[in-house]
Amino acid sequence: MQEKELSDNPMDLIKNIETVLNDTLEIISKCFNEEELKTVAPLVAGKHSPLIALRSRLKDIEPNARKEVGKVLTDALEKVNETFHAKGQELALLSELNYEKVDLTQYVASLNSIYGNGLGALHPVTVAQGELEDIFVAMGFSVMDGPEAETDWYNFEALNIPKDHPARGMWDTFYLNTAQPETILMRAHTSPVQVRVMKTYEPPIYTVMPGRCFRRDTPDARHLAIFHQIEGLVIDKDINFGHLAGTIEKFTSSYFGPNIHARLRPAYFPFTEPSAEFEITCTICSGDGCRTCSNTGWIELGGCGMVDPEVFKAVGIDSEVWNGFAFGFGIDRLVQMKYSLSDMRDLTENDLRIMLQF
Ligand code: PHE
């Protein structure tokens, strides 16, 4: 009796359709896999579908409203159908992804069982770079970087090394194959970054510039073709060689500990005058002489010197007012000596038996 009353009124029937529609859509949306979706299929089509059941009531409402209510019901059925199929596609894709999923925790677990710690770690050179940056920041220096592909001007000319200067032979350079030959190169040292810093910032300058360098060197026990340097630059008033020696002494003893045995040896660089090389007693043979130090007992860690006035001229700094020092140290070499690695190439081979020791 009550049903009869309800369905007599078209508005009631429409409301009823909407309620059933929303309930059905909600049930479909809550299906989490294809099995569950299958069990709700009877709601969508067939005699158990509550929406289709409502169709029988159409005949009980007045004929002029029947068409409108009929349209609401057809739309509702269509909506359910569409939602059901879209959900089917979504769940099919999910089950495919689930099937193809690779469980990396298994892989890490297997590494763990072999090496004890399957997690990745930073490369020792990266760790050293961070330690050096910290040491210099604590001394009041800032850290900067520059591009690895440089122009000839920054890598050579501005550093007082013109085109036919014999000192160019000190840096066997990789040139990029560009329209104008030998104009763009992979920087052979970090010194072009000090040029960039001096051109960009007003003195006083206290900064270090770590980064990768590239040379056409055949790798050997203490050289790599791609290696890392940390450049240092101080420009201020009344800076002298003592400041340079003190800075190097401070940072090398912070890095290695106080017990290294070091010396500064006169050297030549076109961009510093006077210039020196900083050497320490080879940590592999303790100075007795070995293959790594070519039987000299000493290992060179970097070059340094007072900035040449020609460099100041190139970057537009008045050398009557300002002066300063610069140094460039090999980070790979520092790591090699700290851990007494007899062959620097070991740092590039990614041999886990070596890498896992750091
Ligand atoms: N750029 C020099 C080199 O790579 C090192 C250096 C830097 C020397 C700064 C003096 C001053 O050999």
Which residue, by CA, sits nearest to atom 4 of ligand 1?
A: 189
Reading the block at residue 161, the tokens are 């090394």
**Final residue of a domain: which of 100, 133, 155?**
100
User: Do both 136 and 88 map to the same domain?
Assistant: no
Which residue, by CA, sits nearest to atom 7 of ligand 1?
A: 328
Residue 82 CA to residue 194 CA, distance in Å, equals: 66
Mutation choice for ligand 1 from 150, 170, 189, 265, CB with most ligand atoms inside 8 A: 189
Residue 313 CA to residue 353 CA, distance in Å, equals: 51
Domain enclosing residue 275, as ranges: 124-355
143, 354, 341, 330: which is closest to 255 by C-alpha? 330
User: Do both 96 and 141 map to the same domain?
Assistant: no
155, 128, 171, 82: which is closest to 334 by C-alpha? 128
User: Do both 81 and 174 map to the same domain?
Assistant: no
Reading the block at residue 111, the tokens are 């590494």
Please check whether residue 112 lies inside any domain of the structure. no
**303 burial via Cβ count (<10 Å: 0-12, 13-18, 19+):** buried
User: Do both 176 and 257 map to the same domain?
Assistant: yes
Task: Give the CATH number of the domain where residue 258 resides.
Answer: 3.30.930.10
Per-residue pLDDT of the chain (358 residues; tens, 9 = 90+): 444 454 468 888 899 999 999 999 999 999 999 999 999 998 888 788 888 888 888 888 888 888 899 999 999 999 999 999 999 999 999 999 988 888 888 777 777 777 676 567 789 999 999 999 999 999 999 999 999 999 999 999 999 999 999 999 999 999 999 989 889 999 999 999 999 999 999 999 999 999 999 999 999 999 999 999 999 999 999 999 999 999 999 999 999 998 899 999 999 999 999 999 999 999 999 999 999 999 999 999 999 999 999 999 999 999 999 999 999 999 999 999 999 999 999 999 988 788 878 8
Q: Is 336 in the pocket of ligand 1 (CB under 6 A)?
A: no
User: Do both 132 and 85 map to the same domain?
Assistant: no
User: Do both 52 and 174 map to the same domain?
Assistant: no
Cα dist. 92→26, 39, 42, 98, 225 in Å?
Answer: 19, 15, 19, 10, 52
Please check whether residue 150 lies inside any domain of the structure. yes
Q: Cα-atom radius of gyration of the chain, to the nearest Å?
A: 38
Q: Is 304 in the pocket of ligand 1 (CB under 6 A)?
A: yes
Contact 170, 133 (CB under 8 A): no
Distance 95 CA to ligand 1 centre (A): 60
Half-sphere exposure for 281 (CA within 13 Å, toward CB): 7
Q: Is 124 in the pocket of ligand 1 (CB under 6 A)?
A: no
Please check whether residue 29 lies inside any domain of the structure. yes
Distance 229 CA to ligand 1 centre (A): 9
pLDDT at 118: 59
User: Do both 96 and 128 map to the same domain?
Assistant: no
Contact 207, 143 (CB under 8 A): yes
User: Do both 208 and 325 map to the same domain?
Assistant: yes
Atom of ligand 1 nearest to the CA of 229: 4
Q: Which residues pair with 185 in a beta bridge?
A: 150, 175
* DSSP annotation of 112: H
Residue 17 CA to residue 10 CA, distance in Å, equals: 10
- The structural domain count of the chain equals 2
Please check whether residue 105 lies inside any domain of the structure. no
Sheet with 142-143: list strands edge to edge.
142-143, 205-214, 226-236, 323-330, 298-307, 272-281, 262-269
Q: Is 189 in the pocket of ligand 1 (CB under 6 A)?
A: yes
User: Do both 92 and 235 map to the same domain?
Assistant: no
pLDDT at 130: 97
Atom of ligand 1 nearest to the CA of 190: 1
User: Do both 301 and 228 map to the same domain?
Assistant: yes
DSSP characters over 164-222: T-GGGGGS--PBP--SSTTSEEE-SSSHHHHHHHHHHSPSPEEEEEEEEEE--PPPBTT
Q: Is 327 in the pocket of ligand 1 (CB under 6 A)?
A: yes
Please check whether residue 3 lies inside any domain of the structure. no
Sequence-ordered list of residues with C-beta below 8 angstroms from that of 104, at least 6 positions apart, any chain: none
Q: Is 156 in the pocket of ligand 1 (CB under 6 A)?
A: no
Mutation choice for ligand 1 from 271, 277, 307, 329, CB with most ligand atoms inside 8 A: 271
Give the CA diameter of the chain.
113
User: Do both 190 and 66 map to the same domain?
Assistant: no
